[in-house]
Amino acid sequence: MTGDLVGAPVHRLEDAALLTGTARFTDDIELPGTVEAAFVRSPHPHALIRSVDSTAARNLAGVHAVFSHADLAPLLTRNLIPPDNPTLKFAESTRAVVLAKDEVCHVGEIVAIVLADSRYVAEDAVALVDVAYEVLPSVSDCRDALAPGAARVHRDAPDNVVATFRAEYGDCGPAFAAAAHVLPLSLRQHRGGGHPIEGRGIVARFDPATEGLTVWSSTQGAHRVRDALVVLYGLDETRVRAITPDVGGGFGSKHIVYPEEVVVAGAALALKRPVKWIEDRREHFLAAIQERDQYWDIEVAADADGRLLGLRGSMVHDQGAYTLLGFNVAHNATLAVPGPYLLPNYRLDVTIAATNRVGTIPVRGAGYPEGTFAMERAMDAIADELGADRAEIRRRNLIPADRIPYELPLKARDGSTTHYESGDFPACMEKALESAGHDRFAERQAAARDAGRYIGMGVANCTKITGRGPFETGIVRIGPSGRITVHTGAMAMGQGIKTAYAQICADQFGVDPGAVKVITGDTGTVPMGIGGFGSRQTVTAGSSIHLASVEVREKALKTAAHMLEVSDRDLDLKDGTISVAGVPDLSVSLADVAKALSGAIGYARPKDMPPGLEASVNFLPTGLTYGNSAHVVEVEVDVGTGGVRITRYLVVNDSGRLINPTIVEGQIVGGVAHGIGNALFEWMGYDDAGQPVTTTFAEYLLPTAPVVPNVEIVHHETPSTVNPLGVKGVGEAGVIPAAAAVMSAIESALAPFGVRIRETPISPPRLVELIGEAKAGS
Amino acid sequence: MKPPPFRYHDPGTVDEAVALVSSLDNAKLLAGGQSLMPMLNMRYVLPDHLIDLNRITDLSYIEESGGRVTIGAVTRQRDIERSDLLRRRCPLLRKALRQVGHPQTRNRGTIGGSLCHLDPSAELPAALAALDATVHVVGPNGARDVPMADFPAFYMTPAIEHDEILGAVSFDPWPAGHGSAFVEFARRPGDFAIVGVAALLEPGPDGTVGRAAIALAGVGPGPVRCAAAEERLAGRAPDADAIRAAALTCADIEAMEDIHAPSSYRRHLAVELTSRALHAALAEPGAGSPK
Amino acid sequence: MTGVGELPETRSVTLSVNGERHEIDVETRMTLADCLRRKLGKTGTHLGCEHGVCGACTVLVDGRSARGCLMLAVQANGAEITTVEGLASRGGEWHPLQQAFHEHHALQCGFCTAGILTSMVEFLGENPDPTEDEVREALSGNICRCTGYQGIVRAVLDAAGRLRARNGAIAP
């Protein structure tokens, strides 16, 4: 590295606009002549659409149009959302449709779009659209969906199985036969929705003069939105531009191309005027993706010392009605199970079941919290069985530092095997335990119990795949103005990546990060892009931007050397000026170099350099990079109410080299809060038919300031060896082991009752019930 | 989530408001709006007319007269929370209010709105039930009084006719030296209570309890007074056993069930929190302390 | 539901927003938040849930924090409204809360930030020297999905100190 910005806790460049109210989110985009959209959505979990009569709605003053499937179908090349993971095979019946034609398969599925002068009038009109439904039998719970004779989620499907697969290595049979301990565990896991405070939203504008379609979407993947519109409306790539304005959080819920985005763009094409749709919170509950239920029936085998011999069993995953992004959540969950532990034999049979609920795709953590929860519950079960300390059992099973790099024959979806390239898992856990005062905790716990208080300490470890490829473009440009601009296909949605990218780039030019303008998520400036998910963008785009910056720097130095008639080895680059070492007056600015490289008519290029002071790099990672964390949590349980208070939270995190420790810590703390939500609060409820029962923030509880503790973070930096920056992704690191650690702490607090927790989330009524059951059983 | 169309009325006096409410069909009264506005935004209610009471300054006051405290219906919760008069004369209200919503909602929310919305888990109706408050209702034929005990007609429905408005609520403050507590359990601070307990204790002679009032939120469709528990305490020394015995009378209460909690848990909390509320009330200076 | 198909009922109101007087016609059913955003271009106030829980739309109405989604614009007739755009001084100097939020990484996506800033302006006015628990309680009516609140709590405590220092010179 050249400068000292990488690694510095630089204050964010994004903040000024956000703090003064001048940021521009999707709903802040006001184009003249815009009509606003509201959707007619299915009130039924499963029904046939007999007819759609929009006469009354169309006749309402201020209403411009109502489009149902019959109206938009002529514009569409097909009525199916393009699948995002082309290699995964799943039941065709669960392919997501753009607009329901004659069948709706979950509450909230869109039937028609209403376009009016304002959202107020659009909602008035929605109530006037008369849809005749014939209600069909439905299925809500994913285990029920697999039962013989279950109602079909899609009426034409032979059954409700979306896919089945097995994750396996080693041979569990002999390992279990020889084990000193075989412990069964039945787990019910639930994660809920993404719930960024800004919902989804899109503004679409068709310009007849250029035949161009521009959409501003609050999305985690502008390029995928563009590509979907190109395919579905038969348009030319060069005529469609997708831009992400400021995005108010994603957490997975903006990771896919949604039917709403396609329909709104279609309405703009049909009406030839701008159309805006801003998702309201109820729509987010009904129609934004979630990561919901998994039922795990597993058994773990251990030797007499508590060392893992194997883990096997089955898992049922609730996919909802549509497969919008393959079945990554279930797949990731299976990958996460071994985590940082030596697990010699492993077999998990997974069944993905369709249900009459909204589709599931990854929410922050993406299956890793579930796989981690399974393994960590197994660890605690072994410790309980042996009467051993929970940390000690983990200590015996963690992969020792000297076995890193470590390879597991478990395949990620790019076909690569699990390869922990760097890290020291035992050191991370020991650091966390030491900081938490684990060795003195038993004493404190005993004293508290004597005083009638129930405190507990829990520990959990995890690893996480980060930096998924295949690439993310980084373009660095310096124009004749001398200003440095970075363009990337990566998506900013609040993480602070613009600041991190500016640091990476500015380091090469000896300028302030504020001097670097970073533009993300605009298909008009970067032709290809993948998007923001899976803790990948600092690894992929960060590396590309780094390499592009280095290239531009070298080009600038070489060109300057030519201009100044010296060797480039004699040059310094600082504050945007290249000068001869020891002769500061002999210098050229980056602007001068950029001007020279922008060419003059008919003149030779300096030193035969390629034109333009710019570089575009697509860094291609040679492998995935794996971060890891150890969490230690202290809780106090009020056994009278079942209330859980988290009194201390400690994280030791290895995300490789830190670009900006402040931003990294923000990601970790935010992730922990999300994990606390998953552990104690967030529950997306449905009734037996599939009707959602938690559709407000008074029913679906997000963590608030009084229930989230301060999180103490210790960084353990082992640079990744598979990218030039040495970074590992961190966006999901905080959330993954959180629920497992909290449950471990609650069990520790309630050890006198022998309470065992096999589910997430755990509510106070349920804890009181478990305490009662444990008392009755003892 | 935008309000449906309605005709908006903002009367300046109680008479005007009563005239409007008794002449208009399908009208809704808007006080602080912290419950009605979400219901309008979600279009759970579709009124033809919205009668905004916020311009009626005559309905916003806190006063004591002849030993009785009266609070106007459109008095903001925040003003009640900060009232010096109530801090002195009825600390229970402040204790309850500190657990009602958040500062932003208490700034707008009113005591009358809270009473008329009558959420089963709401804190204020329970506190006013414990205080044996009287609700003053104004209609086209004049004023009438409704005892708090008779105020809930059905689930979330007060005993107010469609042509009446709530004018004020009044109560006799308990004498100086009484103990009070409002103890609740909510999933997160500021949420509606799953169960809340308002408790008032007046010391009697020789360290006994002279008078007790206990009201529960979150178990029934309206606030539930625990007469059995009150009787068990009156005239007895409030030791831990007496409190336990009083609290246990709540164990058989018929409790509601919703997505937040089953009835068994609400009964469990009713016992647990009644006990805690009584201990807290007793711990106050002058109220005596458990032996 | 009346009014469907009829012209929307409107009223003329006068709002003072960040010290600037506006006389406008608004639909009587329009919320204050929508009025500020759509009619007056104050898009710094955001809508996160429209049912009064998330707190993103919180503005100050006559100095008191209120949910912009739970008030009708007509109800603010004659009121002084302060939005996030009005927190910095006329010269553009940030409010100590804004400065502290920047320095303590108290925001990520920034969508909830405006409502938190306005709420905390009121809170620190009433409680200039709060404890951490008091700050957390005061924040309980604002949901942030990104930060885990830690930076926000630190920033509010820091801003309280800055405000005390600033006001100390003139306080009795």
Q: Do B261 and A701 touch (CB under 8 A)?
A: no
- Pair B208, B256 in one domain: yes
Query: How many CB pairs below 8 Å do chains A and B form together?
Result: 59
Nearest-Cα residue of chain A relative to residue C117: A19
Q: Is A514 on the interface with B (CB under 8 A)?
A: no
- State the chains in contact with C (3 or more Cβ–Cβ pairs under 8 Å): A, B
**Which two tokens mark A220?**
């985690």
**Average confidence (pLDDT) over B133-144:** 97
Nearest-Cα residue of chain A relative to residue B274: A640
Q: Which of A538, A543, A503, A497 is nearest to A520 (CA)?
A: A497
What is the per-residue pLDDT across B212-257, written as a single tens digit (0 to 9) for each?
A: 999 999 999 999 999 999 999 999 999 999 999 999 999 999 999 9
**Average confidence (pLDDT) over A282-302:** 97
Query: How many CB pairs below 8 Å do chains A and C form together?
Result: 185
Instruction: Give chain B positions within 8 Å (CB) of A39.
Output: none
Q: Do A25 and C37 touch (CB under 8 A)?
A: no
* B290 is a domain residue: no
Instruction: Give chain A positions within 8 Å (CB) of B190.
Output: 704
- Pair B166, B183 in one domain: no
SS (H, E, C) A225-279: HHHHHHHHHCCCHHHEEEECCECCCCCCCCCCCCHHHHHHHHHHHHHCCCEEEEC
| Structure confidence at residue C2 (pLDDT) | 47
- Pair B102, B163 in one domain: yes
Least confident of A525-534, B84-93, B274-283, C31-40: A525-534
- Top residue of A197, A246, A284 to mutate, by most chain C CBs within 10 Å, is A197
* B166 is a domain residue: yes
Domain at A469-618: CATH code: 3.30.365.10
Nearest-Cα residue of chain B relative to residue C62: B107
Q: Given pLDDT bands bounded at 50, 70 and 90, which one contains residue A92?
A: confident
A469-618 shares the fold of A290-399+422-467+624-777: yes
Å between A46 CA and nearest CA of chain C: 27
- Pair B228, B160 in one domain: no
- Nearest beta carbon to residue B52 from set C30, C70, C75: C75
Q: Do A698 and B192 touch (CB under 8 A)?
A: yes
| Structure confidence at residue C6 (pLDDT) | 63
Backbone phi and psi for residue A96, each to the nearest 5 degrees, phi listed first: -75, 135
What is the rounded CA–CA span in Å between residue A756 and residue A759? 9
Instruction: Give chain B positions within 8 Å (CB) of A119.
Output: 2
Q: Is A765 on the interface with B (CB under 8 A)?
A: yes
What is the per-residue pLDDT across A102-130, written as a single tens digit (0 to 9) for each?
A: 999 999 999 999 999 999 999 999 999 99
**Average confidence (pLDDT) over C27-38:** 98
What is the rounded CA–CA span in Å between residue B99 and residue B217? 12
- Pair B213, B269 in one domain: yes
| Structure confidence at residue A409 (pLDDT) | 87
Q: Which of A94, A52, A50, A101 is nearest to A79 (CA)?
A: A101
- State the chains in contact with A (3 or more Cβ–Cβ pairs under 8 Å): B, C
Peptide bond between residue A470 and the one before it cis (omega within 30 degrees of 0): yes
Q: Given pLDDT bands bounded at 50, 70 and 90, which one contains residue A84?
A: low
Q: Do C74 and B101 touch (CB under 8 A)?
A: no
Q: Do C67 and B2 touch (CB under 8 A)?
A: no
CATH code: domain of residue B189: 3.30.390.50
Q: Do A123 and B4 touch (CB under 8 A)?
A: yes
* B237 is a domain residue: yes
| Structure confidence at residue A685 (pLDDT) | 97
The answer to whether residues C118 and C83 touch, using CB atoms and an 8 Å cutoff, is yes
Å between C131 CA and nearest CA of chain A: 13
Å between B3 CA and nearest CA of chain A: 7
- Pair B160, B65 in one domain: yes
Q: What percent of chain A has pLDDT over 90?
A: 91
- Pair B26, B42 in one domain: yes
Length of chain B: 291
The total domain count for chain B is 3
- Pair B41, B93 in one domain: no
| Structure confidence at residue C167 (pLDDT) | 86
Q: Given pLDDT bands bounded at 50, 70 and 90, which one contains residue A603?
A: low
Q: Which of B37, B52, B67 is the last residue of a domain?
A: B52
Domain boundaries, chain A: 27-138+200-247+254-287, 290-399+422-467+624-777, 469-618
- Pair B163, B65 in one domain: yes
| Structure confidence at residue A325 (pLDDT) | 86
C167 three-state secondary structure: helix
At residue B285, what is the residue type? P
Nearest-Cα residue of chain A relative to residue C36: A28
CATH code: domain of residue B38: 3.30.43.10
The answer to whether residues B165 and B143 touch, using CB atoms and an 8 Å cutoff, is no
Residue C3: pLDDT above 70? no
- Nearest beta carbon to residue A120 from set B2, B268, B273: B2
Q: Do A60 and C5 touch (CB under 8 A)?
A: yes
Query: Which is higher by pLDDT, C119 or A602?
Result: C119
Q: What is the CA radius of gyration of chain A?
A: 28
| Structure confidence at residue C168 (pLDDT) | 81
Q: Given pLDDT bands bounded at 50, 70 and 90, which one contains residue B287?
A: confident
Instruction: Sketch out chain C's domains with CATH numbers.
Output: 10-86 (3.10.20.30), 96-167 (1.10.150.120)
What is the per-residue pLDDT across A458-485, written as a single tens digit (0 to 9) for each?
A: 999 999 999 988 899 999 999 999 999 9
| Fold type of domain A27-138+200-247+254-287 | Aldehyde Oxidoreductase; domain 3 (3.90.1170)
Residue B123: pLDDT above 90? yes
Q: Do C70 and B38 touch (CB under 8 A)?
A: yes
- The strand pairing partners of A207, in sequence order, are A212
Instruction: Give chain B positions within 8 Å (CB) of A707.
Output: 188-189
| Fold type of domain A290-399+422-467+624-777 | Aldehyde Oxidoreductase; domain 4 (3.30.365)
Residue C172: pLDDT above 80? no
**Average confidence (pLDDT) over A617-623:** 92
- Top residue of A60, A762, A768 to mutate, by most chain B CBs within 10 Å, is A768
According to DSSP, the β-strands at A346-354 and A308-320 are parallel
Q: Which of B123, B148, B171 is the last residue of a domain?
A: B171
**Average confidence (pLDDT) over A387-411:** 95
DSSP string of A735-776, one letter each residue: TTTHHHHHHHHHHHHTGGGT----BSS--HHHHHHHHHHHHH
What is the rounded CA–CA span in Å between residue A776 and residue A772? 6
- Pair B245, B265 in one domain: yes
- The strand pairing partners of A426, in sequence order, are none
Peptide bond between residue A764 and the one before it cis (omega within 30 degrees of 0): no
Q: Do C123 and B7 touch (CB under 8 A)?
A: no
Q: Is A697 on the interface with B (CB under 8 A)?
A: no
Residue A561: pLDDT above 90? yes
Instruction: Give chain A positions within 8 Å (CB) of B43.
Output: 123, 127
Specify the residue for token string 């607009």. A99
Q: Is C51 on the interface with B (CB under 8 A)?
A: yes
| Structure confidence at residue B291 (pLDDT) | 42
Q: Which of B148, B171, B194 is the last residue of a domain?
A: B171
- Pair B37, B66 in one domain: no
What is the per-residue pLDDT across A20-60, written as a single tens digit (0 to 9) for each?
A: 999 999 999 999 999 999 999 999 999 999 999 999 999 99
Cβ neighbours for A435, distance < 8 A, ≥ 6 positions apart = A632, A650, A652, A712, A714
Least confident of A51-55, A604-608, B10-14, B38-42: A604-608
The mean predicted confidence, pLDDT, of chain A is 95
Question: What is the extent of the structural domain holding B34?
Answer: 7-52
- Pair B141, B189 in one domain: no
What is the rounded CA–CA span in Å between residue C163 and residue C166? 5
CATH code: domain of residue B145: 3.30.465.10
- Nearest beta carbon to residue A693 from set B189, B259, B268: B259
- The strand pairing partners of A316, in sequence order, are A295, A351
The answer to whether residues A359 and A344 touch, using CB atoms and an 8 Å cutoff, is no
